[in-house]
Structure 1
Amino acid sequence: MAERGTVDPRELAVALRDAITRLNRRVRQARPVGDLTVAQLSALTSLELAGTLTPGELADQERVRPPTMTKIIARLAERDLVERRPHPTDGRQAIIAATAEGRAVYARFAQVRDEWLTGRLVELTEGERETLGAAAAILRRVARD
């Protein structure tokens, strides 16, 4: 990085992006045996976090085109992981929500990922875990929309 005592924001951005990307990839790889695709799991996660979304909102959230999201929603609905509900104010729209089974599937995936990460964190020192706790709070602020 830059000279001692200073942090170059560009160098820090590159280092953080790399570390976050690697960690995210590794956490995504920690998953129970199942046939959900990464895109389907991501959509289910977005619904779990948001509660309900229109298909367009879900496509925007997932950064995919609406026809792609329509296919993802259809696959999830076939497995009874999501349900379509009438939009309360716009009859042309639908609201997509995770079903009880969808929430249970999401919870199983989250549990496996949390267990993997917990296993890695216990290998760290108490000071390192405290530093990561502070970093997590800062990263949440950075990630705010």
Structure 2
Amino acid sequence: MPDLSHGDDAAAVNSLRSAVMRLSRRLKHQRVDESLSPTEMSVLGTLVNCGTATPGELARKEHVQPPSMTRIVALLEAKGLVRLEPHPEDRRQKVVTSTEQAEVMLKESRRKRNTWLAELADGLDEDEWAKLRAAAPVLEKLAHL
């Protein structure tokens, strides 16, 4: 674990936080559908990646309260981006699944964001790009802790 009382570790953590926040804000503007919030896009991404989930599972994965997720799912359903179906084992619950429309939109959004990041990375030299490639799995791990 980084020692935040140590100058180098504290500076690295501060720099990482700042860079991730700036990149995140800029990536949020690279959307295909401006009517969806970043959280709604994230929910769609989670569903496309994992297949199906209950609203409670989505709330845990997205770090939001269950009532908030219920509202998000209802909004996405009204837009035709998710389907709600009875849970196969627990009829009191529903299972949320992304629609083909959501998958197409998410694919286009990812393409747009990847293109933007690739264009941004054109400003890096080969050594910087190699370091970024090496850091990507570590950043991915941090995102899922």
TM surpasses 0.5: yes
Q: Distance in 1 between matches of 2:141 and 2:34?
A: 33
Query: AA paired with 1:10?
Result: A
Equivalent-residue separation in structure 2 for 1:120 and 1:127 (angstroms): 15
Of stretches 73-82 and 8-17 in structure 1, the one that deviates more from structure 2 is 8-17
What runs of 5+ residues in structure 1 fail to find an aligned partner?
Answer: 1-5
Aligned-pair identity (%): 36
When normalised by structure 1's length, the TM-score is 0.85
TM superposition shift of 1:71: 1.4
Evaluate the alpha carbon distance shift between residue 33 and residue 73 of structure 1 in structure 2; reply closer, same or farther with a 3 A threshold.
closer
Map of 1:133 onto structure 2: 133
Aligned length: 140
Give the alignment of 1:46-125 within 5 angstroms: 46-125=46-125
Relative to structure 1, the CA distance from residue 99 to residue 39 in structure 2 (aligned partners, 3 Å threshold; closer, same or farther) is same
- Relative to structure 1, is the Cα distance of residues 43 and 140 closer, same or farther in structure 2, using a 3 angstrom cutoff? closer
Taking the TM superposition and a 5 Å limit, the aligned residue runs for 1:17-28 are 17-28=17-28
| Structure 1 stretch displaced more, 95-104 or 25-34 | 25-34
* Structure 2 SS opposite 1:97: strand
Over the aligned positions, Cα root-mean-square deviation in angstroms equals: 1.9
SS in 2 for 1:76: helix
Write the distance in 1 (CA, Å) between the matches of 2:15 and 2:123. Answer: 22
Query: Which amino acid in structure 2 is aligned with residue 21 of structure 1?
Result: M
Runs of 4+ in 1 over 4 A off after TM superposition: none
TM-score (norm 2): 0.85
**Residue equivalent to 2:3:** none
Cα distance in 2 between the residues matched to 1:81 and 1:143: 25
Runs (5+) with no aligned partner, structure 2: 1-5
1:33 Cα deviation from its structure 2 partner? 4.9
C-alpha distance in 2, partners of 1:39/1:8? 33
Match of 1:58, SS state, is helix
**Kept in 1: contact 2:32–2:105 (CA 8 A):** no
Question: Which whole-Å CA distance do the structure 2 matches of 1:33 and 1:83 have between them?
Answer: 19
Write the distance in 1 (CA, Å) between the matches of 2:18 and 2:126: 24
Deviations 1:51-78 (A, max 9, x none): 2111011112222222221111111111
